[in-house]
Structure 1
Amino acid sequence: MLKKRLVCACFALAGLVCLPPVFGQDATRQLLEQLSNAPGPPGAEEAVRAIMVAKMKPLSSSLSYDGMGSVIAQMGSAGPRVMVDAHMDELGGMVRRLTPNGFLTMQMLGGWLDQALVDQRWIILGSKGPVHAVTGIRDIHVLPAEDRGKVFPRNMLYLDVGARNAEEAAAMGLEPGDPVVPDSQFLVMNGTDNYLGKAWDDRVGCAVLVEAMQRMAKQNHPNQLFFAATTQEEVGLRGARTAAEVIKPEIAIAIEGGIAGDTYAHHPEETQAKLGAGPGLFLFDSSAMANRKFVALVKRTASEKGIPLQLDLVQGYGDDSAEIQESNGGVPTINLVAPLRYTHAHNGILNRKDFDQLVDLVVDLLTELDAKTVTQIRDFAPAQ
């Protein structure tokens, strides 16, 4: 019963039940909103997984799970084994302990900046349902002048749930190990085609999986497609590793949230992508290097289809393709992205046109990955 209440609470946060219907939206926007709002920190992806399974199962010839909770949906039974990956988890946290005065300490999960943590709202997925919390901040009226410009370190932060003591916090259904997720609801930014929300890294990729499956279900394709919604990427690319072991792909595409560099233009070497300028292709990141022949295919396909393509190289970035390319004796991979503003924080921005064009590019690539093309990409023999 306790587990059922927790799952129902997660579903409510994900927009699956107990929330009023949303009218006047296209299906893609509804999908993006539902995925962005869903709580899913590493190891607690249940609400996101429920959405993905509901969308993927009717489109797949078979649907299964690996031992880490990743969802694997297969389409087709002949041709090269093509893996398309996106991770379900988002940056979050986990309750460490309940203090005597009712505050909670938090273990951060994923690559948080300390300056992104102060005075933010959070949701704790407790055994009795969601509990709202806030990370506090020292009052300016008592903070020494020399400390006012300093970043509040994470080890000084506490989750405030309004409890007066540890017993009151425990009575809310809270205990060590409870997942914590940012509290930040989806919205369309002032009538534009920019969407504000949390967890675009990598709910944007999850939405691409769903929409690509919907498109591929209506046309013939020359391969076996394995769409994998993976777990625990933010804490070490773990689900991609186990999913790839199950799938044994011959070639793979990772779908991720990229980094838009148009906000802080005085740091041009950090990233070259711009919001609203089309999907991106990572030539390099700290965890993986794209297969050069596969890169050439992406460039050619985008050019032939009239899809703008942004090439990028980013340090301090890791993605699932790193684990996939090291599986099954070596797998040619690429990482395609939708550029995002303000990743790894409570509020990020996705451009709808970038998303739509990314779906177009993925679908176009999947229709081209026949046995001959995959063999050519995997061929490393020196030219005669």
Structure 2
Amino acid sequence: MHLEHLEKLSNIQAISGFEDDVVNYIKDVLKRHSYDFKEDFMKNLTVFIPGRDHSFKFGLFAHMDEVGLMVTKIKDDTTVKFAPVGGVDPRVLVGKKVKVGKDVDGVIGFKPIHLQKKGKESPSFDNLSIFVGESSAVNVGDPVFFTTKFNSCGDFYVGKAFDDRVGCAMMLELIEMEEKPPFDLYLSFVSQEEVGLRGSAVAAANLDIDAALVIEGTTAGDNPELEEAHWATHLGDGPVLVAVHSGYVIDKRIFEGLKSVADENDIPYQVKRRTAGGTDAARIARTFAGIPTGVVAVPARYIHSPVSQIAKKDFENTFKLVKAFIESEVFVR
């Protein structure tokens, strides 16, 4: 598959509620094709790809937003205070470069260690500030974006927003393909997942689909210093299948279907070993009659931080599994 989409999407700055640049990128890709698409008031963008058989309708979902920050107070000393947008640990922010709004560069600062009480103070949103140099160009409510650039490092990709630009990149790859899917396919790029699964609720309510699959970037937790018993997933072991997570037990038919398709196509996979966190699947499955929904994900280290890491072969194999699952029609058999 092409790497272009993943690299460009990773470099786009688009926290929850400010997904416009991702939406515009997707629209630019769609100009090369004739598929119908709709955009709603939540900035969800849903593309319709007609299948060979119109009796079954399947939805794919990936969220466009990333975690970030927002300006809450402007001080006279050219620093600004901020709050998290989505789940961000303040301890990963010290010394990081950011962009405030679209034009103002900043650096996140913390009290020097020699001024701390016994050198053991912990970073928090109360005691971190962004130095911007020129505070008159900043307003309360401005988004604050991480600025890490995508990079290829041996067998890995390093960058920001792999949660969930990996899913967006895979759906764009499906749009670029010429062959028709076996059934009607709806590809929904949704907003504001990181602040309460908001966009997917609206997108799913506007779709009359029979089943769905969420493509995600999920936590690995396999830091080298940790024992394997503490890992959720492991980089290099293949796509992650989710059996249960916060708020939702995954539909068994889709979960088992993904496993069988992976086995039939010799695609390695792993089952997530922790249940913390959630995905748009929980929201989609609670919409109206309850849409049966599954989750497949790319394992990523250090998600919800300014920089994360994925294995190249995990990204490729996850796409292979999604494509093979659609082509197998296993869920409609």
Q: Which residue of 2 aligns with 1:318?
A: 278
Deviation at 1:140, TM superposition (A): 2.2
| Root-mean-square deviation (Å) | 1.8
> Does residue 1:152 correspond to 2:112, yes or no?
no
Pairing 1:53–2:27 present: yes
- Cα distance in structure 1, aligned partners of 2:76 and 2:276: 38
Q: CA deviation at 1:208?
A: 1.0
What is the distance in 2 between the residues matched to 1:291 and 1:346? 33
1:369/1:57 CA distance change after superposition, 3 Å: farther
The reply on whether 1:116 has 2:89 as its aligned counterpart is no
Write out aligned runs for 1:316-355 (5 A): 316-355=276-315
Q: Check whether the contact 1:212–1:359 (CA below 8 A) recurs between aligned residues.
A: no
> What secondary structure is seen at the aligned counterpart in 1 of 2:199?
helix
For residues 245-292 of structure 1, the C-alpha deviation after alignment (integer angstroms, 9 at most, x for no partner) is 111321000010122233256454544421111111111111322111
CA contact (8 A) 1:117 1:154 kept: no
8 Å contact from structure 2 (residues 90, 123) kept in 1: yes
Task: Provide the rounded CA distance (Å) in 1 between the counterparts of 2:39 and 2:321.
Answer: 27
State the Cα distance separating 1:102 from its structure 2 match: 2.4
Query: 2:139 — aligned with what?
Result: 175
What residue is the counterpart of 1:141 in the other structure? 114
Name the CA distance, whole Å, in 2 between partners of 1:61 and 1:184.
Answer: 33
- CA drift at 1:57: 4.8
Q: Which residue of 2 aligns with 1:20?
A: none
Following the alignment from structure 1 to structure 2, what is the Cα–Cα distance between the partners of residues 250 and 212?
Answer: 19
- Structure 1 residue runs of 4 or more that deviate by more than 3 Å after TM superposition: 56-60, 264-272
Identity over aligned pairs, percent: 30
Count of matched residue pairs? 331
Match of residue 35, structure 1, among 4, 9, 16: 9
Give ranges in structure 2 of 5+ residues lacking alignment: none
Distance 1:151 1:316, change over 3 A: farther
Q: How far off is 1:56 after superposition?
A: 3.7
State the Cα distance separating 1:59 from its structure 2 match: 3.9
Structure with max Cα Rg: 1
Q: Alpha-carbon deviations, 1:149-179, whole Å to 9, x = none?
A: 332111111111013xxxxx22x2x211111
Greater fraction strand: 2
SS of alignment partner, residue 51 of structure 1: helix
Per-residue CA deviations over 1:311-339 (Å, capped at 9, x if unaligned) read: 11423311111111111301111110001
CA separation in 2, counterparts of 1:198 and 1:342? 9
Aligned residue type for 1:195: Y
State the secondary structure of the residue aligned to 2:4: helix
Structure 1 residues 264 and 255 mapped into 2: Cα distance closer, same or farther (>3 Å)?
same
- Does structure 1 conserve the Cα–Cα contact (< 8 Å) formed by 2:242 and 2:255? no
* Separation of aligned partners in 2, 1:270 and 1:34: 33
Distance 1:61 1:30 in 2: 21
Deviation at 1:61, TM superposition (A): 2.4
| 1:197 is aligned to 2:149 | no
Aligned counterpart, 1:99? 75
5+ residue gaps, structure 1: 1-26, 164-168, 377-384
* Mapping 1:1-384, distance limit 5 Å: 28-59=2-33, 61-76=35-50, 78-125=54-101, 129-145=102-118, 148-163=119-134, 169-170=135-136, 172=137, 174-189=138-153, 192-215=154-177, 218-264=178-224, 266-369=226-329, 373-374=331-332
In 2, Cα distance between the equivalents of 1:39 and 1:118? Answer: 19
CA distance in 2, matches of 1:315, 1:156: 32
TM-score normalised per structure 2: 0.94
Q: How far 1:233 sits from its partner (Å)?
A: 0.4
Contact 1:231 1:238 (C-alpha < 8 Å) held by counterparts: yes
- AA in 2 matched with 1:113: D
Q: CA deviation at 1:54?
A: 1.7
In the alignment, is the contact (CA less than 8 A) between 1:49 and 1:71 conserved in 2? yes
- Structure 2 contact 110–129 (Cα < 8 Å) conserved: no
TM norm structure 1: 0.82
Q: Cα distance 1:345–1:111, how it changes in 2: closer, same or farther (>3 A)?
A: same
Deviation track 1:58-91 (CA, whole Å, cap 9, x = no partner) reads 3452011121001100000623121100000000
Which structure shows the higher helix fraction? Answer: 1
